[in-house]
Structure 1
């Protein structure tokens, strides 16, 4: 295994005629992105060129650019539109069941919902305003939603509006748990978020593997808005099932 920045990949990487990616003396089989999820990771054209170089190669990308984009807030919002989810879930009953799990999501492109914007300004605690960012610490809550929407309405362009997604805020049940802080066991009111891991491998248009492979449980203090583990807002947890 070797580690390289995007700038180093641009400097050292090359693509052979058979689409093999070579970094220095190493033939690359798998590209795993530890960075590349934030615009700040691409300060120059060199980093963009490195990303394109790796995407064009026959190395397995984790994630590929298509999978990367599929996880963005904008795609999540688009999937809530009538007929979009059904393009990927052919069974009508399955699609209907999945839709019941969706929170409300609204995009702010040319057809932005002004009534929903006014509702969010009047009652910001019922919503979360999300930019196209990952990693925690980027979402806006409460009064910050009101300020941002008023700012955008006053002088925002279509592009600056479209950079955000408005989401109905989810209020999960609060439970008591124990956090370990500096070696001490501290009881605290908390909320948890369960995510399901999936393994997905495709070769061009053919799906090779697509299955559920585990779960991730994130737990945080109930009075904390953000939920990123790496950003320090939440911790990794495990499920303890009991019979009612």
Structure 2
């Protein structure tokens, strides 16, 4: 077992930049959602990348086949994480990346926030830090609420929420917050690797996706974002 790296104490960060990131979040979420619906834009924008990257090329080929099917998805869910750093020279908030798949650390991030607040409650006066200045972190609850909302929209009380994991999952403890789905929302979750989905999955004529005989209402991908996740055609 390898402990996830953390900072023992919180890092000082301008409140104005924190608020800016929070204000930008729904804007970026809507932008990504709109881009995901524009198949031609995606294909055209990544056309040059497709020529030099085999993985992207394969994904775009699959995307083209889906576009040809002309199947409209009325229910969509994005679990995103936008990463920022403070530029040393300009002191501006700069976006590093926007994660649209395998958005992780909601679970561990909330625990670190609690750790920092607890430490500052006990030692903040000695350190010159105020625990009340630590922003709240509700990522775990919001992720669970979003998945539960998507599950509800699917309108099948017997359906499950599926989390797609890697064969040798190293970050499983960050995923334990998913138990909130069962405890708070009465949504059953299953964990499957891509190989297990290949062997157990079945797509019905009406579009229902079964895994192990269970209808899947919503999928949370924690795998499938890298070529190493696809060692074979299956």
TM-score, normalization by structure 1: 0.21
Higher RCO (CA < 8 A, seq sep 6+): 2
Q: Which has the higher helix share?
A: 2
TM-score, normalization by structure 2: 0.22
